[in-house]
Chains A and B, each alone.
Chain A
Amino acid sequence: NAGVMQNPRHLVRRRGQEARLRCSPMKGHSHVYWYRQLPEEGLKFMVYLQKENIIDESGMPKERFSAEFPKEGPSILRIQQVVRGDSAAYFCASSSSGSGTYEQYFGPGTRLTVT
């Protein structure tokens, strides 16, 4: 049973470029969450999505960041015009609405470095 998959695992972008991070949830999971972990800091919630719906984007910066979870394919977190402060580990987690306990399982993360 494959776990949560994220790609790329490492991404280097120059300031001003775009970064696209992909997440495929665990099989049978329909809820996807994105979290960001800045160096030496805790995990911060960014956005919660279900298929074709953004449920909660209260943790996402208003500008340059967007997320989607289309009917087909992975969830994508998109960062436009990246700045050095965007350098962080971005983790995706998924859960099943049918589990009753809402455990979230994390992918390996994408480490974004902005030069």
Chain B
Amino acid sequence: QKEVEQNSGPLSVPEGAIASLNCTYSDRGSQSFFWYRQYSGKSPELIMFIYSNGDKEDGRFTAQLNKASQYVSLLIRDSQPSDSATYLCADISNFGNEKLTFGTGTRLTIIP
């Protein structure tokens, strides 16, 4: 059974600092990962997609993937109060059957 693990938090970070969110996965064959942001009572919003080892940057967000350690992370630079949300890590099943396996999410609070 494929598993994706996240620390549920809450994680509190001062405004302007770097928020670091982590995720580990059980399936060594997993290829690709998504990060979603979910505000309370809302639907998940896609932030990043990563499938190669290393870093991928998009604005204030950087996703990091280390397949050897089965570890995915999301860094948020210059954290803003509007970044306060639950962040979900998801493992795509395999290309051709693309169901997502989600972690339980990390609740992030940015402190003004």
Minimal beta-carbon separation of B18 from chain A (angstroms): 25
10 A-B pairs with the lowest CB-CB distances in the bound complex, closest first: A42-B104, A43-B102, A106-B43, A45-B99, A102-B98, A106-B44, A42-B102, A109-B43, A108-B43, A48-B99
- With A43-B88, A102-B32, A102-B92 already in contact, the answer to whether A48 and B43 are too (CB < 8 A) is no
Q: Which of A41, A45, A91 has the most CB of B within 10 A?
A: A45
Interface residues on B, range: 20 to 34
In the complex, which residues of chain A have a beta carbon less than 8 angstroms from the beta carbon of B46?
103-106
Instruction: Kindly identify, within residues 36 to 52 of chain B, every residue whose CB is under 8 Å from any CB belonging to chain A.
Output: 36, 42-46, 49, 51
Digit string of B88-102 for contact with A (CB within 8 Å is 1, else 0)?
101010010111111
In the complex, which residues of chain B have a beta carbon less than 8 angstroms from the beta carbon of A35?
100, 102
Instruction: Kindly identify, within residues 37 to 51 of chain A, every residue whose CB is under 8 Å from any CB belonging to chain B.
Output: 41-45, 48
In the complex, which residues of chain A have a beta carbon less than 8 angstroms from the beta carbon of B88?
42-43
Interface residues of B (CB under 8 A from A): 32, 34, 36, 42-46, 49, 51, 88, 90, 92, 95, 97-105
A25 contacts partner chain B, Cβ-Cβ < 8 Å = no
**Docked pose: A102 CA to B105 CA in angstroms:** 21
Majority SS of interface residues in chain A? strand
In the complex, which residues of chain A have a beta carbon less than 8 angstroms from the beta carbon of B34?
103-104
A70 contacts partner chain B, Cβ-Cβ < 8 Å = no
Total interface residues on A, using CB and 8 Å? 25
User: Would you give 25 A-B contacts (Cβ < 8 Å), ordered by A?
Assistant: A31-B98, A33-B98, A35-B102, A41-B104, A42-B103, A42-B104, A42-B105, A43-B44, A43-B88, A45-B99, A45-B100, A45-B101, A48-B98, A48-B99, A59-B99, A95-B98, A101-B51, A104-B98, A105-B46, A106-B36, A106-B44, A106-B45, A106-B46, A108-B43, A109-B43
A12 contacts partner chain B, Cβ-Cβ < 8 Å = no
**Docked pose: A95 CA to B99 CA in angstroms:** 11
A55 contacts partner chain B, Cβ-Cβ < 8 Å = yes
